[in-house]
A and B are shown apart, each in its own frame.
Chain A
Amino acid sequence: MMDTRRHLRGIGDLDRAALERLLDLTDHMAEVGRRANPKVPALRGRTMCNLFFEDSTRTRMSFDTAAKRLSADTMTLAVGSSSVNKGESLRDTVETLGAMGVDAFVVRHRSSGVPWRIAEWTEASVINAGDGWHQHPTQALLDLYTIRSERARRLGEDAGFEGLRVGVIGDIRHSRVARSLTEALGLLGAVVVHIGPRTLMPPTPLARSTDDLDGELEDLDVVYLLRMQNERMDAALIPSGEEYTRRFALDPQRAGRLGEHVLVMHPGPMNRGVEITVDPTTLPGAVVTTQVTNGIAARMAVLFDLLGGVETEVSA
């Protein structure tokens, strides 16, 4: 029998049309969020199960809220990272929970690829909430939605992605956010440049890489800062945090050189004093809290898209 389930394991599960449909759906969900009662019955009777093998309260709560606003039932299995290392029980866990009638698993795991494995062991749809360094597609979706809606608000209706110049700055190599975002922006025709030291640049045909932040700064429409983690310094990928900050942080001087309508984004949580030394609330283009708000709408869109119906036209 043909496998008719759909998943959102990575941006690779989408084509351009599917991505645009999700962005349009996110518009609907954002509208639901602005209602007096921000809850609709659309996914009544459906069950979403959070499978978080890696702690992330923010992402888990965002998915939880999204599911509740669509009236889906939710289950949560939060597994401490210690038992993840053993890993033997992964398949058993999934099969057991699947037997309880789960329609979608939302999976977060420190190892790349786990959502793909889980999809082979369950009848449910699988949504990736972040796997290793690999993919974080709902983050990319909320980022794209934020770019689209904020640019539309600031520049007018015609602000599309074609030719949009996005600079992703920092530790691209270890970033699932950067991988998903780069791939998704590419699908929509944007031009991505990866900015950071070569030790943190993965080889990819999807973006140009450079370590010259100051040379790129004035050409960017969107500045996307990544979180710099201390363990990278331990692994001798960069000499020190101070040197990183000097070369790649958004400081007041660099912020002053940004164009008028440039958006400044960050997936959070921000390392103030490391990748950003300017107070983001003083930047007119900073949309970091909008990203968080849009996260719920984007995840509602994904849940509704996977569990809510079929994608063919019908009359009323």
Chain B
Amino acid sequence: MTDGKRVLGPDDVRRATTRMAHEIIERNRGLDGVVLVGLQRGGVWLAESLGEEIGRIGQAVPVGSLDISLHRDDIGRRPVVPGSVSSLPCDVDGAIVVLVDDVLYTGRSVKAALDALNDYGRPSAVQLAVMVDRGHRELPIRPDFVGKNLPTSIIESVEVTVDGVVIIDPETTVDQ
């Protein structure tokens, strides 16, 4: 892989996580019935980080993960590789589910996650937390909690890890 343009460092990511944890607690006073669900694969580490922060600041909330590969609307058009098996820590019926992902882009992953969630039960509310909102939405989907709004070109790609956020320029990558 080529080195891209680093727009956030590890400290930035940590600060953004803490801020989002505060916002989630504030929005859902008391945290009753709140469950964090990370989207496989990129959202899982962030859901876990948020869970730790929320537990440190307020009270522990259950954290799970959701594999959306069987719900995508682009199967057959793009390669699909399931991540780890979905694991929801509690009944989602009546729960407040905070979906967590690393990057919000077209919105199709979130749509697939909403569909998948539906198969487990009927949450009382679903909220969306993402580390980076890079724009270019193709569906009417909007995040509730955002680490960083990051304007990008449609040809660029964005990598988010605990170590930071990198924008990769396709000109310097080997692409088919």
Contacts and interface: CB of A to CB of B under 8 A. Distances in A.
Interface stretch (A198-206, A224-232, A304-312): A304-312
A310 B78 CA distance: 7
A32 B102 CA distance: 24
Interface stretch (B48-56, B115-123, B144-152): B115-123
Contact of A309 (B41, B79, B116, B157): B79
Contact of A31 (B81, B85, B101): B85
Contact of A314 (B39, B78, B103): B78
Given A35-B120, A41-B115, A316-B109, A28 B70 contact: yes
A79 B58 CA distance: 65
A36 B86 contact: no
A37 interface: yes
B128 to A, nearest CB: 15
B103 A308 contact: no
B85 A308 contact: no
Contact of B75 (A28, A42, A312): A42
B75 A43 contact: yes
B14 interface: no
A70 B79 contact: no
B80 interface: yes
Contacts of B39: 316
Task: Name the interface size band of chain B.
Answer: 20 to 34
Interface residues of A, number: 27
Secondary structure of the A contact surface, majority rule: loop
Contacts of B157: 315
Contact of A39 (B82, B102, B119): B119
A310 B79 contact: yes
Given A36-B119, A37-B119, A39-B119, A311 B70 contact: no
B86 A41 contact: no
B10 to A, nearest CB: 21
B42 interface: yes
B86 A308 contact: no
B85 A35 contact: no
A260 interface: no
Interface of A: 24-25, 27-28, 31-32, 35-43, 70, 304, 307-316
